[in-house]
Structure 1
Amino acid sequence: MFRIIFRLGLGAAMLLSVPVFSQVTLSDGQQVDDRYLEDQFYIGVGYNVLVDKPDNVAQRNLSYNLQVGFIKDIPLNRKRNFGIGLGLGYAINSYYSNLMATEEAVAVLYEIVDESNFNRSKLATHAIELPFELRWRTSNAEDYKFWRIYAGARLGYVFSGRSKLVTETGNTTFSNPDIEKFQYGLTLNFGYNTWNIHAYYGLNTLLKEGTTIEAGNPIDFRVLRIGLIFYIL
């Protein structure tokens, strides 16, 4: 399924990225491009909040997000201030908590541990993402500072997911098969000029359904991300 979605998204982005140039001349003789495109490259940083945590599970340290990618801007009206965006990106996410994961012969065991017994426990993921946005903005061919509101959805494929535990006596790390490969959620980006707020809410869980703590309580982590996103071109 992911391969089909990935190929369709990449093919659409390549097809739609063929440049079309057109210029109009203003009364003062200045020429501007009336076929301009906006916000096609992005880079973002954010803080990951784990919601729906089991009792006694707490976050620690800085659970961060880094993202970068390309979104094809597709205006839908003559003013070019409303349209859609379809893109391809890459994201790194880390989630720190007091939930320790231990690799066993046939499964991964999870245990809530006393914070004095370890330095850091984290889940880390690397993902390819397909963002889709409905775009509204106050831009025009002459003004490069404008308001924007971009709402949409994002599908991610986790190609690398690991658990790591750091203690006074050493480190242990392993590839965690319980991390859900497909992550999807809703996004909202809004702001003015350079500074834009980015928000993401995951619609499915970070770990696969049925993953539990030793006591049998389900681990139904969902991700709420708040951060900044910067657009170029």
Structure 2
Amino acid sequence: MRKLGILLIGVLTLGSIARAQRPDLPGSLVVDWGLNTLLNAPTDVKLSGFNSKTVNVIYYYDLPIGDNGFTFTPGIGLGMERFTLEDGKTLRTSVNNSNVRSVAVADLATVYPQANTFGKSKVGLNYLDIPLEFRYYTSKNNMSRGFRVALGAKVGVLYSSFTKVKFEDNAADQRMIKDRQDLGFEKFRYGVQARVGFGGFSLFGYYELSNKFDIAPAGGADTQGLSFGISLTGF
């Protein structure tokens, strides 16, 4: 998430330059930064709330509906979710002799027997997203200023999933293992989202209507995602 923090700072800088120079550019670049949680989480999964983050980088384009401040606003972007698991847990996947995959919540000490002490254990998901919003701007002649509200939906396809674990091994060396693999998550997601804000700043929320897992660990058949946070408009 350090790289994502640098990206967020870059968008803030871009937003300041854009507002100062007021370039006539089509559309807008929006960065969402927020927190993730799981509803009906799998058995034994407990998340660290402030360490489970989401970052979305989205290009939006407003299509006016009449001249009353309403727009239909499609977009395209990347969604990056990070979940930090507590209590020494991680997700583990395996394939049996019949090529049937299963996913389980496992103890870190079992997966990494060479470890002495553990740091953070994360699960990462990366999506290509297409959000669709209906917006209302109070300042219809200058949409970058004034109050606005948006309601819509977002669909996405998962293109990468991984676990990342930090630990100290028995030789007192600091280790970090990032393992890209199929962790049983649904390849497609869809849900509803909303925004409300003023100028280049707004609040957002996204609720997944789809199930989080295709191959669920115990207790995760009905798991769904929820994220919320702040949005910054770059231009």
TM-score w.r.t. structure 2 length? 0.72
Q: CA, structure 1 residues 110+121, in 2 after alignment: closer, same or farther (shift >3 Å)? A: farther
Q: Give the fraction of aligned pairs with identical amino acids, expressed as a percent.
A: 21
Unmatched runs of 5 consecutive residues or more in structure 1: 1-35
What does the per-residue CA deviation read over 1:30-80, in whole Å, with 9 as the maximum and x for residues that have no partner?
Answer: xxxxxx99863211211111111134421126111111121121111123x
Q: How does 1:39-118 map to 2 (within 5 A)?
A: 40-60=28-48, 62-79=51-68, 81-98=69-86, 99-106=89-96, 107-111=101-105, 113=107, 118=118
Residue 9 (structure 2) aligns with: none
Q: CA, structure 1 residues 41+105, in 2 after alignment: closer, same or farther (shift >3 Å)? A: same
Q: Secondary structure at the match of 1:100?
A: strand
Q: CA deviation at 1:205?
A: 2.0
Q: CA, structure 1 residues 109+141, in 2 after alignment: closer, same or farther (shift >3 Å)? A: closer
Moved over 6 A (4+): 114-117
Q: How does 1:48-197 map to 2 (within 5 A)?
A: 48-60=36-48, 62-79=51-68, 81-98=69-86, 99-106=89-96, 107-111=101-105, 113=107, 118-141=118-141, 144-169=144-169, 170-172=175-177, 173-197=179-203
User: Which structure exhibits the higher relative contact order, with contacts defined as CA atoms closer than 8 Å and separated by 6 or more residues?
Assistant: 2
Unmatched runs of 5 consecutive residues or more in structure 2: 1-23, 110-115, 170-174
Q: CA, structure 1 residues 218+129, in 2 after alignment: closer, same or farther (shift >3 Å)? A: closer
Residue 9 (structure 1) aligns with: none
Q: CA, structure 1 residues 154+181, in 2 after alignment: closer, same or farther (shift >3 Å)? A: same
Amino acid aligned to 2:59: F
Q: CA, structure 1 residues 146+195, in 2 after alignment: closer, same or farther (shift >3 Å)? A: same
Q: CA, structure 1 residues 105+78, in 2 after alignment: closer, same or farther (shift >3 Å)? A: closer
Preserved contact between residue 135 and residue 149 of structure 1 (Cα < 8 Å): yes
Q: Secondary structure at the match of 1:44?
A: strand
Q: CA, structure 1 residues 144+128, in 2 after alignment: closer, same or farther (shift >3 Å)? A: closer
Preserved contact between residue 133 and residue 150 of structure 1 (Cα < 8 Å): yes
Give 1 or 2 for the bigger CA radius of gyration. Answer: 1
Q: CA, structure 1 residues 164+224, in 2 after alignment: closer, same or farther (shift >3 Å)? A: same
Preserved contact between residue 188 and residue 199 of structure 1 (Cα < 8 Å): yes
Q: Secondary structure at the match of 1:176?
A: coil
Preserved contact between residue 100 and residue 112 of structure 1 (Cα < 8 Å): yes
Aligned alpha-carbon RMSD (Å)? 2.7
Preserved contact between residue 101 and residue 108 of structure 1 (Cα < 8 Å): no
Q: CA deviation at 1:228?
A: 0.8
Q: CA, structure 1 residues 38+201, in 2 after alignment: closer, same or farther (shift >3 Å)? A: farther
Q: Secondary structure at the match of 1:104?
A: strand
TM-score w.r.t. structure 1 length? 0.72
Q: CA, structure 1 residues 157+142, in 2 after alignment: closer, same or farther (shift >3 Å)? A: closer
Deviation larger for 93-102 or 138-147:
138-147
Q: CA deviation at 1:201?
A: 0.4
Amino acid aligned to 1:131: P
Preserved contact between residue 74 and residue 83 of structure 1 (Cα < 8 Å): yes
